[in-house]
Structure 1
Amino acid sequence: MSNLIQCEMMKLRKSVPLRILFLLMLALGLVSSMSSLSYVNSPVQQELEIALHGCDAFFSSLRDMPTIVMIGVLVLVFVVTNDFENRTIQAAICAGHSRAAILISKMLAFAVGYLAVYLPYPLIRAVVQGMLMGFGAPVSAALIFKMAASLIVILLSGMAVNSVVFWLAFTVRRSILVVGAGFVIAVLGTTALMSFTYSLPQLGSLLAYTPIGFFRELALGNYTPALLGRAAGMDLAVLVLTLLFSHLCFRHEDIR
């Protein structure tokens, strides 16, 4: 297991697609920060909820669920399906590694890759807009901890929402199919469900204790310790169930 995890971390460091995605998210953060300057002293700034200060910009960057989920889909493709297509996973199985260990190492690689790729976006917005327009709140250890905890829980929710895509990556094992299915199921599906919760209170109550429901609550700015704790617990439970279900489907698959 430890050898597999070390191998995954080394591949993450050397992955060209992840580096490109990292740079794209960095550029997106810079562009978002620069575009927000045009709303300074604008009468529509509050109406459009444009975040100007660094702290507000950081938390605003955690509200875009479609983008967060789609980044997760792309990371899964680079981490899992690419290894099926270049036969790295098949070689690991032939070398005697258990399929359970492979699944766990891939889930950990997914988490680390997801954080590494998405982190530049909220971080660069907080730093750049904090330098240009002020941070908007006293910088303290408590605030930094809240920002870090909120980012981690949001990405855990993104991983939980992408649990179906994780299973598909080990089932269909083709990048184009995983990207297509991930976009339809994880991105469009969850976006539609979140939209329906505003018009259908019954659906909102049903989804309240799912990763989608917790994401909706967090997107409203409710980054309280209690909500972050409940969301993290639910997300981790979903990820454990995803590993168990994926193992049931993957353990007897004939990998060629």
Structure 2
Amino acid sequence: MQLLKADFFKLSRSISPWALFLLALISAIIFAACSHYVATDSLSIETASGSLSLFSETQMMALLGSIAAGICLTTDFENKIIENAVSGGHSRNAIIINKMISFFILIALLYLPYAAITLLFAFTDAAFSGFLPTPALNILSGAAEQISTAGLFGKILLINGLSLFIFISQLMVSIFFMFLFKKAVLVITATYMTSLILGPVSSLNETIHSVMAYTPYGIDLSQLTFHMSGKFIGESFLISFVFILVFYLASFLIFRKAEVK
């Protein structure tokens, strides 16, 4: 708990998390605006699906999440904060769990603008196009077919919650890279390249897809809709949870054997 309080204090006083949050907020607004303009024929679907797709939550979570892991957490190695924690008697397992919790909160902060926009506009009469199969657009474009009730609110929370958990599990490799490399620039690069490569790789052929289907990178985000099945929810949660657990254990093994200098 002491380590977690120290992390919260450091992050709250740092400009980096809030700068990343602001970038996520701007991206979410641009992405929602693109969806609206496509639905009203003010923007071509080709343009929206091209360069403007970079503002989608799938792209921004990979990019901003990688940066957050690097500059907000990994710099603790470079600033000797981890070394001081170890010499101060804190167990390495406690340090890893503390970093994981801090990381989960950071990713939730970055995803918050997208979740907030879905909740804000799903109950309005504004038209949105699902020009990309992302969770946010699935919600915005599908909300028009739903009755505005507490049940709709619950469904939106469920989709956003599961989406966030999947993104966290995809970015969990950054915790492993953090204890492996101990350098912010290497963690940012390795995490982003992993997210950038493994997603498209999963659709290359049936063999690769069947293997990647057991990882968060192989989960079909287009199924995160109001009509997603209980089986899909359960499988997605289980795959993501196991992935987080595996990389927690891998991080612990690396950190336990590493020398903290």
TM-score range, shorter chain: 0.7 to 0.9
1:28-73 CA-to-partner distances (Å, cap 9, x unmatched) read 222223334433442987x66x79xxxxxxxx99975333222321
CA gap 1:23/1:234 in 2 versus in 1, 3 angstroms: same
**Superposed displacement of residue 210, structure 1:** 2.0
* TM-score (norm. length: structure 1): 0.80
Which residue number in structure 2 is paired with residue 156 of structure 1?
165
Residue matched to 1:82: 75
Runs of 4+ in 1 over 4 A off after TM superposition: 60-64, 128-132, 219-222
Moved more, 102-111 or 139-148: 139-148
Secondary structure, counterpart of 1:139 in structure 2:
coil
What TM-score do the two structures reach when normalised by structure 2? 0.79
Give the match for residue 171 of structure 1.
Answer: 180
Higher relative contact order, chain-length normalized (CA < 8 Å, sep 6+): 1
Shift of 1:155: 2.3
RMSD, matched Cα: 3.1
Offset of residue 91 of structure 1: 1.4
Hey, what does 1:112 align to over in structure 2? Answer: 105
Q: Which residue of 2 aligns with 1:98?
A: 91
Shift in CA distance, 225/145, structure 1 to aligned 2, threshold 3 Å: farther
CA distance in 2 between counterparts of 1:43 and 1:145 reads: 32
Whole-angstrom distance in 1 between the partners of 2:39 and 2:256? 56
Q: How many residues align?
A: 242
What SS does the aligned partner of 1:21 have?
helix
1-structure distance, mates of 2:213, 2:255: 31
Task: Identify unmatched segments of 5+ residues in structure 2.
Answer: 128-142
1:21 corresponding residue in structure 2? 20
Counterpart position of 1:191: 199
Gaps of 5+ in 1: 52-59
Output one character per residue of 1:53-101: Cα deviation in whole Å (capped at 9) or x when no partner.
Answer: xxxxxxx999753332223212211342121122221111111100100
> Contact 2:3/2:95 (CA < 8 Å) preserved in 1?
yes
The whole-number CA distance in structure 1 between the counterparts of 2:103 and 2:178 is 12
1:69 aligned partner: 62
Between 209-218 and 11-20, report the one with greater CA deviation.
209-218
- Identity within the alignment, %: 23
Contact kept? 1:29, 1:125, Cα under 8 Å: no
* Pairing partner for 1:235 from 211, 233, 240: 240
Supply the AA of the counterpart residue of 1:31: I
Instruction: Tell me how far apart the structure 2 counterparts of residues 33 and 190 of structure 1 sit (CA, whole Å).
Output: 26
The AA in structure 2 aligned to 1:186 is S
Partner residue in 2 for 1:252:
257
